[in-house]
Amino acid sequence: MTTKQSRHYSPALPLAAAGAAEAANEVKEVSSSDRWSLLHVPATVAANYTVVQSDSMQCENRRNAQLVEGGFEQARHFYPRVLNAHIHPLVAAFFRMDNVQVAARYGHLNPAVDEAKLRELLGYQPQHFTWAGSDLLSVTNGSGQRQMVVVETNSCPSGQKSMPPLQDNDASSGYRAVVGATLGALLADTDVDGDLAVVYDKNAMEASGYAAALATESREHVWLVEYYDGDLDPPVTWIADTMHVRDSSGTWHAIRGCLRYVTQRPWNRIPLRTRTRMLNPV
């Protein structure tokens, strides 16, 4: 029996409908480089194939971890219009306030608020959710009353690339502030011997900014890693609950501390409990 091969199909697969009956009785293996061809064959054929990863295969398009080297370059981690912008004095003044001053200011503007309770809430230190940001809207009701409304809270907040520095001589600005405030906790209480990493699935400008700031502050090897949902050959793997990242040579490196900028269903590829210290854990 002869079969015709469609240009949409991989030559490794039985392609003609006439060959499907024979293929149904035999399970074959397909290398991961040919896995996409399974999308184009009849279901009765594709069901009889299993995708296997060849250790010797070098995929030209696969993602690998990048070692962050050099100092922090503002032009790479801020929008062009931000580079020469100056922060509003009112915003700068707010960032210089501590929690007690913030509570007092808010209580002055909102007399019905329990200021002591507000100070208690502002002083709370989460055990797991240590890095967050909120989306706010400035709104006005029908009576002309203006207020800020919290739309949502994010565990991987963005916005550093749009924020002018609080001081003209502070190149890394908010990136350094986040890393400096969390680095100690990130590296504490771990028995893993390894490097540091920033893993992300969006916002490369900010993710790389955090990696550069982390490398500057820690003076250690920091890997920048794309980690996408649905990637069949990801540059991240987990061994005994420890993250390992793959470099361009195929070598895997253990990671003892990681800043997570993974936002799309992170729980389907990051364990709930890890030996690698995570900011923020899933």
- 38-42, 184-188, 260-264, 276-280: the lowest-pLDDT one: 38-42
Contact 210, 178 (CB under 8 A): yes
Buried b or exposed e, range 191-216, using 16+ CB within 10 angstroms: ebebbbbbbbbebeebbbbbbbbbbb
Tokens 């709930």 map to which residue? 272
pLDDT at 281 exceeding the cut of 80: yes
Which of the pair, 265 or 131, is modelled with greater confidence? 265
* pLDDT value for 63: 92
* pLDDT value for 280: 82
Distance CA 44, CA 105 (A): 68
pLDDT at 22 exceeding the cut of 50: no
* pLDDT value for 158: 84
51 confidence band (pLDDT: 50, 70, 90): very low
Q: Where are the domains of the chain?
A: 1-57, 60-87+125-282
14 confidence band (pLDDT: 50, 70, 90): very low
Angle, helix 173-187 to helix 204-218, in steps of 10 degrees: 60
Query: What pTM did the predictor assign?
Result: 0.74
Please say whether the dihedral angle defined by the alpha carbons of residues 75, 79, 85 and 86, taken in this order, is positive or negative: negative
pLDDT at 11 exceeding the cut of 80: no
* pLDDT value for 154: 83
What is the average per-residue pLDDT within 202-206? 93
**Percent of residues, the chain, with pLDDT higher than 70:** 79
